[in-house]
């Protein structure tokens, strides 16, 4: 007794007419103090019905400076592309894929696939695997990775997996929401007081906490440790952490932000701070003077704090806001195309856009996406040639 199957055909993004569903405005969240008139609130991203996510070719470039980057082959790339644009985009992606070192396609697994392992060697079972009747079986869809004796499956679309020492950006609700399976906890005692003085936190501080943090504020912190029940504790112990103001919060996929030495970037020419949270929350905001509280003496600090207060109340100039928007859009474009985010790439994209005199809201249009993809393909091929 057998069932016959009719033919299975995966669906292709159809040419010509685009299924323009008025998309959700892409994860655009702003800090409270910043009503930004130049930002487009209605950035509709048209989504192109994509293919299964874990089918994307994974790139492992030997050069760690570029880290791992994963090309989303048209997954979630919903743009109203004309025919020529689509061809150019495809060509750029193909070029990028051909440049990457080939990944063994056997390494990709789906749920409940057996992982090929030499059972005689001692090996450690890592994330995403489980033991089934003596066989090693995958529990998520992804790619099998082996490091020394550890075998694990790296899922492509999983939520953020925090590690101690990671820098994350989060939004305050009852605890801090950081795109993890639970909200993280930021204790008052693990934070610097706004006046920089180190003292014991009293009950009065607890009551006054609302003066420092309110609901929906954005904070930047570091992962301190895991509790035994799996929840996360954060700390914000130096001046560079803490509440973030005057800027935009962007949400992208966590795997696009790789672990690097530097997560705080100060873009001098724009006077803008860029914080790449490992959980996929990116903060783009006006630069805030952070100074070491130890160095500053009393008289000075009083004066400076006065100046700061005035600055706080001061209106952010239009040009600053435009710069913030431009950078934020660059990040959005890169994340839509599936390139991993780092500061250099963002700067290049921003320069590209300003050199071509593209309007800020045009940056989210399809033409710019295609341009960025092409340029990235060129850049990688140049890197490849230079290496040889």
Please, are residues 155 and 140 in contact by the beta-carbon 8 Å criterion? yes
75 sits near another protein (criterion: CB under 8 A): yes
Q: Which of 141, 169, 331, 341 binds another protein (CB under 8 A)?
A: 141
177 sits near another protein (criterion: CB under 8 A): yes
156 sits near another protein (criterion: CB under 8 A): yes
Which one of the spans 4-12, 163-171, 194-202, 341-349 is the region binding another protein (CB under 8 A)? Answer: 4-12
5 sits near another protein (criterion: CB under 8 A): yes
DSSP 8-state symbol, 252: -
Question: Contacts by 15-24 with C-beta closer than 8 Å and gap 24+?
Answer: 15/83, 15/86, 16/83, 18/46, 18/48, 18/80, 18/81, 19/46, 19/49, 20/44, 20/46, 20/80, 21/46, 21/47, 21/78, 23/47, 23/78
Number of residues this chain uses to bind another protein (CB under 8 A):
53
What the block records as the tokens of 162 is 């925090």
Quickly tell me which residue has 């008052």 as its tokens: 188
In the chain, what is the straight-line distance between the N-terminal and C-terminal CA atoms, in Å? 58
132 sits near another protein (criterion: CB under 8 A): yes
Please, are residues 345 and 67 in contact by the beta-carbon 8 Å criterion? no
Spatial strand order of the sheet with 247-251 comes to 28-30, 247-251, 281-286, 272-276, 264-267
Q: Which of residues 20-39 bind another protein (CB under 8 A)?
A: 23-24
Quote the least distance from Cβ 315 to another protein, whole Å: 33
Which one of the spans 176-184, 206-214, 275-283, 288-296 is the region binding another protein (CB under 8 A)? Answer: 176-184
Q: Which of 67, 99, 137, 347 binds another protein (CB under 8 A)?
A: 137
352 sits near another protein (criterion: CB under 8 A): no
111 sits near another protein (criterion: CB under 8 A): yes
List the Cα angle 64/67/69 in 5-degree steps.
145
Summarize as ranges the residues that interact with another protein (CB under 8 A).
1-11, 23-24, 45, 47, 49-55, 57, 73, 75-76, 78, 105, 108, 110-112, 128, 130, 132, 137, 139-142, 155-159, 175, 177, 181-183, 229-231
């Amino acid at each position: 007794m057998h069932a016959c199957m009719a033919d299975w055909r995966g669906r292709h993004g159809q040419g010509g007419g685009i299924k323009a569903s008025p998309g959700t405005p892409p994860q655009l969240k702003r800090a409270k103090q910043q009503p930004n008139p130049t930002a487009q609130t209605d950035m509709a991203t048209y989504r192109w019905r994509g293919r299964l996510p874990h089918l994307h070719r994974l790139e492992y470039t030997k050069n760690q400076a570029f880290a791992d980057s994963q090309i989303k082959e048209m997954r979630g790339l919903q743009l109203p592309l004309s025919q020529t644009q689509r061809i150019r985009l495809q060509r750029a992606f193909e070029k990028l894929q051909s440049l990457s070192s080939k990944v063994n396609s056997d390494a990709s697994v789906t749920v409940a696939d057996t992982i090929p392992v030499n059972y005689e060697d001692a090996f450690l079972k890592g994330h995403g695997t489980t033991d089934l009747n003596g066989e090693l079986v995958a529990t998520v869809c992804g790619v099998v990775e082996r490091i020394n004796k550890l075998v694990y499956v790296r899922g492509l679309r999983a939520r953020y997996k925090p590690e101690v020492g990671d820098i994350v950006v989060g939004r305050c609700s009852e605890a801090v929401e950081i795109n993890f399976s639970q909200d993280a906890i930021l204790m008052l005692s693990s934070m610097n007081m706004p006046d920089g003085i180190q003292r014991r936190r009293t009950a009065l501080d607890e009551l006054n906490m609302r003066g420092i943090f309110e609901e929906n504020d954005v904070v930047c912190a570091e992962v301190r440790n895991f509790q035994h029940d799996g929840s996360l504790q954060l700390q914000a112990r130096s001046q560079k952490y803490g509440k973030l103001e005057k800027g935009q919060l962007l949400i992208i996929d966590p795997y696009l932000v790789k672990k690097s030495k530097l997560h705080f970037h100060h873009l001098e020419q724009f006077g803008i701070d860029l914080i790449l949270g490992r959980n996929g929350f990116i903060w783009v905001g006006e630069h805030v003077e952070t100074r070491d509280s130890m160095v500053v003496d009393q008289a000075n600090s009083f004066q400076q704090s006065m100046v700061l207060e005035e600055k706080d109340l001061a209106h952010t100039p239009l040009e600053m806001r435009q710069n913030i928007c431009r950078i934020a859009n660059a990040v959005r474009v890169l994340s839509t195309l599936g390139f991993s985010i780092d500061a250099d790439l963002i700067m290049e994209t921003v320069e590209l856009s300003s050199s071509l005199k593209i309007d800020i809201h045009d940056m989210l249009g399809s033409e710019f996406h295609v341009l960025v993809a092409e340029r990235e393909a060129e850049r990688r091929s140049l890197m490849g040639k230079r290496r040889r």
